[in-house]
A and B are shown apart, each in its own frame.
Chain A
């Protein structure tokens, strides 16, 4: 059974940094793309970033490009999202999701999410 467990969320001041992690199990991690999707309170889903199985290809939404970095440690089956220069509008629940072996494809299953709050 695929399991995804996010961690690292919390309260951070504007301009601050935070590193999210997603521990994966139940599948051959290095074979599949992984994605971060966020959801602001009461709002819809917003794609944040995707990384290929090998980690060699990364993709970012314009809203986070240059501020967020996605990475993965295939030896530890862990996905990361480094978030710098955080803004109030980055406040959201951040979900990690397993993708397909092809990067531009579906997202699923999803983790339970971790809440990031950017506020002074």
Chain B
């Protein structure tokens, strides 16, 4: 089965840049997606097809995907960005989520 690996936690000071990675075999050959989940809330899609932002998502969030690693970058991190972030990809008709990364600001 296909696995996506994320760091369990990332900590960043307000105003700094947060980088959350997601690793999987030849992940760069697939589309990656990122979801934000705040406590007690449903997940929200924040990045799709590696780099695209849905309407209403802050420009401070950006994505990239190459080789074996997809990356979610949050610039000028704010307290409101504190949340769990999950990467996701498809492999062989199966959707796979990473284990999630808790971002602490």
Residues of A at under 8 Å CB distance from B? 35, 37, 44-47, 50, 59, 61-62, 95, 97, 104-113
Interface pair B97/A46, CB less than 8 Å apart: yes
Identity of the chain A residue whose Cβ is nearest the Cβ of B1 in the assembled complex = A62
Residues of B near A106 (CB, < 8 A) are 33, 45, 48-49, 88
Interface centre among A37, A111, A113 (most CB of B within 10 A): A37
Q: Which of B43-88 contact A (CB under 8 A)?
A: 43-45, 48-49, 54, 84, 86, 88
Bound-state CA distance A113–B7 (Å) is: 26
Interface pair B97/A44, CB less than 8 Å apart: yes
- Per a CB cutoff under 8 Å, which of B37, B44, B97, B99 touches A47? B97
Bound-state CA distance A49–B35 (Å) is: 18
Bound-state CA distance A85–B90 (Å) is: 27
Interface centre among A106, A112, A113 (most CB of B within 10 A): A106
Residues of A near B49 (CB, < 8 A) are 105-106
3 smallest beta-carbon distances between A and B, as pairs: A108-B45, A47-B95, A106-B48
Bound-state CA distance A79–B4 (Å) is: 28
Q: How many A-B residue pairs have CB under 8 A?
A: 64
Bound-state CA distance A110–B18 (Å) is: 25
Residues of A near B54 (CB, < 8 A) are 108
Closest CB in chain A relative to B2 CB, distance in Å: 11
Interface pair A59/B45, CB less than 8 Å apart: no
Interface pair A45/B100, CB less than 8 Å apart: yes
Closest CB in chain B relative to A83 CB, distance in Å: 18
Closest CB in chain B relative to A101 CB, distance in Å: 13
Residues of A near B86 (CB, < 8 A) are 44-45
Extra A-B contacts (20), CB below 8 Å, given A46-B97, A108-B43: A37-B43, A37-B97, A44-B86, A44-B97, A45-B37, A45-B43, A45-B86, A45-B88, A59-B93, A61-B94, A104-B95, A105-B49, A107-B33, A107-B88, A107-B95, A108-B48, A108-B54, A109-B45, A110-B43, A112-B42
Bound-state CA distance A111–B44 (Å) is: 10
